[in-house]
Structure 1
Amino acid sequence: MRRYLPFIIFILTCFSASAQQYLLSGRITGQKNEPVSFTSVYIRNSTYGTTANEEGRYQLKLNPGTYNITYRFTGYREQTESITITDHNEVHDMQLADEVFKFSQVSEKWKENLDPGDTIMRMVISRRQAHMKEVQGYSCAVYIKGVQKLLSSPKALTSKAVIAALDLDSNGRGILYQSEMLSTLNFERPNKIREVTIAAKQAGVNTAFDYTKASDLQVNFYNDVFKINGLSSRGYISPVASNAFDHYNYKLIGSTIQNGRTVDKIEVIPKRENGQYFVGNMYIVEGDWRIYSADLMLTNKRSSLNLVDTLKISQQYIPITDSVWMPAAVQLNFKGSVLGFKFGGYYEGIYNNYKLNPSFPKGFFNGEILRIDTAANIKTANYWNTNRPLPLTRPEARDYQKKDSIAAYKKTDAYLDSIQHTKNNINYFTYTIFGYSASNRAETDSLYIFPFLQTFYYNTVEGFGINAKVKYSHKIDDLHSYAITPAVRYGFANKLFSANVLAEYFNNPFRNSKFYVNFGSDVLDLNNVGTRSLYFNTLSTLLYENNYVKYYRSQFGGFGYQRELSNGILWMAGLSYSSRTQMYNNAFGHLFDSKNRNYTSNNPLAPANAPADDRSFLFPQHQALTFNTSVAFTFDQQYITRPTGKFNLPSKYPTLTVNYRKGIKSAFGSDVDYDFASVDISQSNMSIGLSGFSSFKLTGGDFFRNNKLYYMDYYHYLGNQGVTFDPTYIGSFHFLPFYTYSTNGAFFEAHYQHNFAGSILNKVPFIRKLKLEEVIGANYLTTRGNPNYKEFYVGVQRLIFRVDYGISYAGSKKYIQGFRIFYGIR
């Protein structure tokens, strides 16, 4: 508790009311009595404030005294009122006057310039680096509010049951989801972040996107590229980027005086019809040449947004000191439409009580970018009523009350009993592809049955077979759990029965720590990194008479352990013993009569013309005692700490993995005797500005002692044969045979792929609407026996669907070319 005390005191200072505090509240309207939503309201010459809600209502908790309260929103004249708080709550409504921007005498100096807007923005861009470096670090309190609403529904698709379930009105409107968060945010240049969430609340079902931490909602237009998590895989060019004049024109709309400062309104005009560009207005403080506020928009038609059709971003800066301005509030307002359902909503961020350039203790920024307090999700309604700075609207308050009541009812025995049977009902379609899951009421025990597609199979070694596999999991407490996965397998052609068990014990989710033990018998792929799934091998064998996968029999036992030694360093080690036996083809059935195609031998090294019933020798029956270990180093590993454990985030730097494997001779009759080591370095989804993202993997290794090893001990590659492929792993090949290049010597492989995320096809009319992502890539492999294998490919992707066309070369000769497809099933 002591470690959280400073944060608790800090947030209570920002948002809570004591016995001496009173409520200043009111409604903010325009000249036509319309509510001015999200108006910034703050104490002048301070960093404490709030914003109004959608209805224009605001509230501030203040000690007795006299305050200069500033009311400010883009498009309205900033106004400051002197308000005295005595011994009771105070109501102060505010009517804002429209702001008039004009070419007044203050702006005469721009009249001689042909493009005054361009000139002003050049001054801002020339100062952007200085503004970015005004503070080396800060701490502040952050409140984030999110609301997602259904704005209208097609009557033909909205039944009474749907209206009741979503609590919609007669016009098909209602709140789908709400979220709130209170946290402290700490920042140090250039990009160090650490945040602590003190309170969090959600109600409803998130149907679009969400911001679960304050750093997700940070808006900084001084950066060259502005990124929006969840809405686009590409960035957007800031209107004040260093190269902004390559993409934007600027028009001076006019100037006004705000608190003695001249503020210019600049219209932002993209030079191209389509691209990663904003439209809207920037408001610039003359002399300082800094952003006063921003009111910008992105549209799906222009900028290929995902999930939504329009996104409006508004931001207000306030002076913290004479030379430092910081964001006081940011709003993201969005709208979209799916199948006639129109939705919209907003995310509002309020930043309070800035402390500039604090002295952070050594080691404070340790990679933990977010810690969620153990009590964050169990705050009471009274706590939120006391501490939220943004008052709820009437529909929001009603929605919370109803959904809180529903959530409480769903925890009762009566409700849990009523839904238990329904919850665990099997859906045969989803079971076929994804499997079936069931759990008890308390969700401490769960059962998962593996998909039907992986249960029944056919191959030329076993014929038709059954591979029944289930996983039972038990949660002991929040920090300890175990899982047991038994499997049985039977081939009807060779009449061979196999059974095995994998047991795992998870004992420290903050260290990613687990023990495992496995034993039994199984039919395994000679390529130990995997070739084709049972499902795809069944299809290729029965439909196309291509028995790609080659099998052997193993009776085995082993155990292992993994643990994160420190942040970013994951260690794994295991010891296994197996008795391994060669297998042969026993089934040669065909669904279709074929005179031109024959099955191949189960020996991958047999000649291509070997008969299907080939019994050629690959390896003798033998025993193998094998030790393996690896250490993975993820540089600058960032993570989130929740009450239930540590969750690592993708790093912007590569991961280095060192692997070692040893075949131990003589012990327990072991026949193997070798040492193998490899090193790989990889990274996925490296952002390349506006041009999408890249992924790569480089691996090199050698058997520096290979006195005795067998084919399954070789180093194998994730090759591909057949039309389908799996692009989800960057270390895979498109055309490489599964077994031909496996080696017992030195090797080097390299993989690179770049996803342009629509940056090329987005420029093509009509095709732009498909939101296709362009992909290019190359794979390379060299071994002692097979040097310089190469692949090059191009493709297009949309969601889980992807089509590639590529060509491969074995040495200098063309090897294979053609299409490869992926549709989400591996």
Structure 2
Amino acid sequence: MKNNYILLFCILLSPILAIAQQFTVKGKVTDSDGQPIPFVSVFIKGTTKGVSANVDGAYSINVERGVVTLSYTVVGFKTATQTIDVFDNVTVDKTLQTEHYTLNSVTISAGGEDPAYKIVRNAIKNRKAYLEEIFAYNSDVYIKGMQKLVGAPKKFFGRDIQKTLNLDTNRNGILYLSESQSKFSFMKPDRIKEEMISSKISGRNNAFSFNKASDMRINFYENLLLANTGLSSRSFVSPIADNAMFYYRYKLLGKSEENGVTVNKIEVIPKRKNDPVFRGVIYIADNTWRLMGTDVILTKDAGVNLIDTLNIAQHFIKIDKYYMPGNLKFQFNGDVFGFKFEGYFISFYSNYNINPKFEKGYFTPEILKITKAVNKKDSTYWANNRPIPLTNEERRDYIKKDSIALRMQSKPYLDSLEKVNNNFTFGKILITGYAYNDRYNKRSISFDPMLRSVFYNTVEGFAVKYGVSYRKRYEDNRYVTVRPEVRYGFKNETFTANLNTYYYYDAVKRAGVGVNFGSEIADLNNYGTMNLLSNTINTLLFERNFPKFYKRDFISINTQRELATGLQASLSLDYTKNHALTNTTLYKFRDYDDRAFTSNNPLNPTDDSPFFQTYKSTSVTASLNYTIGQKYITRPDAKIYTESKYPRLSLRYKKGINGLLGGETDYDLVTFEAIQERIGLGLFGYTSFVVGAGKFLNNHKLFYPEFKHFRGNNAMFFPPNLRKFRFLDFYQYSTNEHYFEAHLEHNFSGFILNKVPLLRKLKLEEVVGINYLTQPQKKNYTEYYFGIQRLVFGISYGFAFDNGKQVNHGFRFAYNL
């Protein structure tokens, strides 16, 4: 009787199992000449479930048993369907016919306007409506990224490139291959939430992909595109932007009927070669004037950095009465120092819901969540869920790198690798520094380069400063650093040594603790004035001894931790014993008749006596840093802040405690600062600013090292810093009362010089700026400057005014090495 019940149960269950059973339909999509068509969208008709063909035209889709109709769509080809009775795995190859765009019904009079202009004007009129029509949606997003070298030099800085990058004998090969699947949600105006479901990186089984669906979003209905992506300092003008007619010429290539919709194929052509614009083809529907697809490129002429060409191809699918992105491809190539590379990132969207019901509080500052389970999916999972099949090259790369991934983590393999990389040479220790790595035990030791350790100043004479850094990494991105450092001046015969340690114990909470102690020769301006090499050159060759020094014995304990998203707190307790120093030598290579070295007293250049008496100081410093609108990415091993479009605010309190540990200072200083860098202004470049103010609530007893200092500059050559003045003395206007300072700099990113034929190829960036300071001894001090910069170098000319009276002017050269 029991067996009969089991039999009856199986009979009843069998139809259900049959219905739920899935099979695979795979094949290849080609054109009429048999050539593969890349990235064709293949959807189950009447649904938003689909896949995409890969670069070789191969596709694979899982469907349920029964009759199913597949729809094949791609820009430039006629949409085709295929009805299949599926009862087993089946191969279905499909040939698509080229979409013929004709001008048979279009009349273009001699000297008349191309019909494309009327179409584009209508698209521009409807741009904003289509930009705003979707309030919210969610979808599944699959992203695949691949970069490979297609040519490289045999050696680079003495290293064999084939062995270092694991390339073939022609120095070709895949450098990076990654896939991810995510659930992506969006709601206007700019709320996003993404949860990564799966992640895979070739050869790195325990790593998490950096693919991000929000990075793959591009909407040609927006006026300006690709802002703050690093692709260029400026944004790029959409072919249907409100002012697009100023930047583009248009040519109608033809019309075609697709599912009852007349689609216009329009070529977009830059009016001026070096404007930040696209070139290529856009597809616009008649009557509705919707974008149906894009296939455009950006080149070096448009101002892109690092790469030669970027191709952006976007295809839309119809969801109800709307059109949403079906797939989006960024394909690029370039050549940097002889390394020729190419690659792509493609995103595929499916299972759209354009009327989602998000719960209150669904959107938070967390824009992407990655859990530990994300990279645990096996090959069977990926074979069944990957919407874009791997190419043969990608499949071989996975097999090769995954097979040796475990071996590459073994001690014998890593030891053999380090045996080559850890090779000690005199050139390394002299010029670049020497590093010893032990990857198996996750530790490294770095030795400073000896040439940079030798320097000269009028306080110490010729001197050496040498340090060694040790770093040990642990799980979850925790690490420990230890750095001992020694310094000896041969003229003043003063030896100092200190030890700096830091333990970063919680990457998610951004928490760490440090202990530093010893002695050192420090700059009287706690921000520093110039590096040791620059001062050596200025002192020996130009008889300019700008920096002023003192000796400090110290112990410092500090800690920091995130209190809430965007809110970071830090606390430190410091004890110092400070000693004034004096010049011990006036040696220089060249003696200028109109110059003389100044004393080590910054306020009295002719007084060679000690600047202050030896004293002790005990202080506590607390600070809060808050970034408005901070977004972040959560990973199992870290919490990663993204760039905020709002300012970062800093509040700091420092107190000198009289009597604690023998401390002789008594003061209270409160400071506040607001800063925001690279505020995008579209085609006009970007602006950065910082404003700060502070006051000593109590200044009963403090010495010059405890004053509020500013980032001044006495030198013609200097490292740039937004907070840095260009003509203000390093030391003269430090204060123990109150102050207000402001800095504003705008970078036009080539907006002006890009229009000058002989200069545009240099890609120079124009900068203008203002620096302002007021305090009791220096009221209404203002600097104005303008100049040009490129990469790590810049030149500017500026004027300095003290309460309306010009006090300085001249050239300044910036370097950022």
| Alignment TM-score, normalising by the size of structure 1 | 0.90
Whole-Å separation in 2 of the counterparts to 1:413 and 1:752 = 53
Corresponding position: 1:808 with 2:808 = no
Structure-2 residue corresponding to 1:100: 100
Q: 1:47 to 1:674 in 2, by over 3 A?
A: same
Q: Answer whether contact 2:108 2:114 (CA < 8 A) is retained.
A: no
SS of aligned partner of 1:179: strand
- What amino acid does structure 2 have at the position aligned with 1:84? D
Q: Answer whether contact 1:38 1:53 (CA < 8 A) is retained.
A: yes
Structure-2 residue corresponding to 1:281: 281
Please give the per-residue CA displacement for 1:546-583, whole angstroms capped at 9, x wherever unaligned.
Answer: 11111112222232221111001111121212222211
Structure-2 residue corresponding to 1:708: 701
Structure-2 residue corresponding to 1:786: 778
CA shift, 1:689, in A, is 0.6
Superposed, 1:405-420 pairs within 5 Å as 405-420=403-418
> Which range moved further: 381-390 or 533-542?
381-390
Q: 1:720 to 1:625 in 2, by over 3 A?
A: same
Whole-Å separation in 2 of the counterparts to 1:353 and 1:392 = 22
- What amino acid does structure 1 have at the position aligned with 2:780? N
Superposed, 1:289-688 pairs within 5 Å as 289-300=289-300, 302-322=301-321, 324-338=322-336, 342-426=340-424, 435-452=433-450, 454-478=452-476, 480-606=478-604, 608=605, 610=606, 614-616=607-609, 618-688=611-681
Q: 1:777 to 1:140 in 2, by over 3 A?
A: same
Q: 1:488 to 1:774 in 2, by over 3 A?
A: same
CA shift, 1:160, in A, is 13
> Which range moved further: 302-311 or 586-595?
586-595
Superposed, 1:670-819 pairs within 5 Å as 670-727=663-720, 729-819=721-811
Whole-Å separation in 2 of the counterparts to 1:532 and 1:688 = 33
CA shift, 1:421, in A, is 2.5
Q: Answer whether contact 2:154 2:161 (CA < 8 A) is retained.
A: no
Q: 1:172 to 1:744 in 2, by over 3 A?
A: closer
Structure-2 residue corresponding to 1:143: 142
Q: 1:190 to 1:591 in 2, by over 3 A?
A: same
SS of aligned partner of 1:215: helix
- What amino acid does structure 2 have at the position aligned with 1:761? L
SS of aligned partner of 2:266: strand
Structure-2 residue corresponding to 1:124: 123
Structure-2 residue corresponding to 1:184: 183
SS of aligned partner of 1:788: strand
Q: 1:413 to 1:482 in 2, by over 3 A?
A: closer
SS of aligned partner of 1:360: coil
- What amino acid does structure 1 have at the position aligned with 2:689? F
Which structure 1 residue ranges, 5 or more long, are not aligned?
1-16
Q: 1:596 to 1:653 in 2, by over 3 A?
A: same
- What amino acid does structure 1 have at the position aligned with 2:653? Y
| Alignment TM-score, normalising by the size of structure 2 | 0.91
Whole-Å separation in 2 of the counterparts to 1:51 and 1:718 = 56
Q: 1:717 to 1:443 in 2, by over 3 A?
A: farther
Whole-Å separation in 1 of the counterparts to 2:511 and 2:459 = 38
Structure-1 residue corresponding to 2:42: 41
Q: 1:415 to 1:164 in 2, by over 3 A?
A: closer
SS of aligned partner of 2:402: helix
Superposed, 1:13-32 pairs within 5 Å as 20-32=21-33
Which structure 2 residue ranges, 5 or more long, are not aligned?
1-17
CA shift, 1:36, in A, is 1.0
Q: 1:571 to 1:527 in 2, by over 3 A?
A: same
Please give the per-residue CA displacement for 1:278-326, whole angstroms capped at 9, x wherever unaligned.
Answer: 11221122233211111112221x302212222221101111112x221
CA shift, 1:619, in A, is 2.1
Q: 1:382 to 1:111 in 2, by over 3 A?
A: farther
Whole-Å separation in 2 of the counterparts to 1:808 and 1:233 = 29
CA shift, 1:429, in A, is 5.5
Q: 1:603 to 1:624 in 2, by over 3 A?
A: same
Q: Answer whether contact 2:139 2:185 (CA < 8 A) is retained.
A: yes
Q: Answer whether contact 1:658 1:678 (CA < 8 A) is retained.
A: yes
Structure-2 residue corresponding to 1:5: none
Whole-Å separation in 2 of the counterparts to 1:689 and 1:160 = 41
Structure-2 residue corresponding to 1:11: none
Structure-2 residue corresponding to 1:85: 86
Whole-Å separation in 1 of the counterparts to 2:557 and 2:165 = 49
Superposed, 1:253-268 pairs within 5 Å as 253-268=253-268
Q: 1:154 to 1:628 in 2, by over 3 A?
A: closer
Q: Answer whether contact 2:137 2:354 (CA < 8 A) is retained.
A: yes
- What amino acid does structure 1 have at the position aligned with 2:652? N
Q: 1:528 to 1:354 in 2, by over 3 A?
A: same
CA shift, 1:489, in A, is 2.1
Q: Answer whether contact 2:558 2:570 (CA < 8 A) is retained.
A: yes
CA shift, 1:260, in A, is 1.7
SS of aligned partner of 1:690: helix
CA shift, 1:221, in A, is 0.6
Whole-Å separation in 1 of the counterparts to 2:437 and 2:339 = 33
Please give the per-residue CA displacement for 1:180-217, whole angstroms capped at 9, x wherever unaligned.
Answer: 22222221211112222233333489xxxx97312111
Q: 1:430 to 1:298 in 2, by over 3 A?
A: farther
Please give the per-residue CA displacement for 1:104-160, whole angstroms capped at 9, x wherever unaligned.
Answer: 66x799999955322222222222222222222222111112223444568999999
SS of aligned partner of 2:760: helix
Whole-Å separation in 1 of the counterparts to 2:192 and 2:219 = 15
SS of aligned partner of 1:402: helix
CA shift, 1:695, in A, is 0.9
- What amino acid does structure 1 have at the position aligned with 2:85? T
CA shift, 1:440, in A, is 1.9
Whole-Å separation in 2 of the counterparts to 1:660 and 1:386 = 58
Q: Answer whether contact 1:449 1:469 (CA < 8 A) is retained.
A: yes
Q: Answer whether contact 2:442 2:474 (CA < 8 A) is retained.
A: yes
Whole-Å separation in 1 of the counterparts to 2:27 and 2:598 = 81
- What amino acid does structure 2 have at the position aligned with 1:521? S
Q: Answer whether contact 1:749 1:779 (CA < 8 A) is retained.
A: yes
Whole-Å separation in 2 of the counterparts to 1:375 and 1:534 = 49
Q: 1:434 to 1:718 in 2, by over 3 A?
A: farther
SS of aligned partner of 1:130: helix
- What amino acid does structure 2 have at the position aligned with 1:726? P
Structure-1 residue corresponding to 2:14: none
Structure-2 residue corresponding to 1:53: 54
Whole-Å separation in 2 of the counterparts to 1:596 and 1:667 = 48
SS of aligned partner of 1:717: coil
Of all paired residues, the percent bearing the same amino acid is: 41
CA shift, 1:460, in A, is 1.4
Q: 1:173 to 1:615 in 2, by over 3 A?
A: closer
Please give the per-residue CA displacement for 1:736-777, whole angstroms capped at 9, x wherever unaligned.
Answer: 211011111221111111222222222222422222222222
SS of aligned partner of 1:478: helix
- What amino acid does structure 2 have at the position aligned with 1:769? K
Structure-1 residue corresponding to 2:215: 216
Structure-2 residue corresponding to 1:14: none
Q: Answer whether contact 2:185 2:194 (CA < 8 A) is retained.
A: yes
Q: 1:160 to 1:742 in 2, by over 3 A?
A: closer
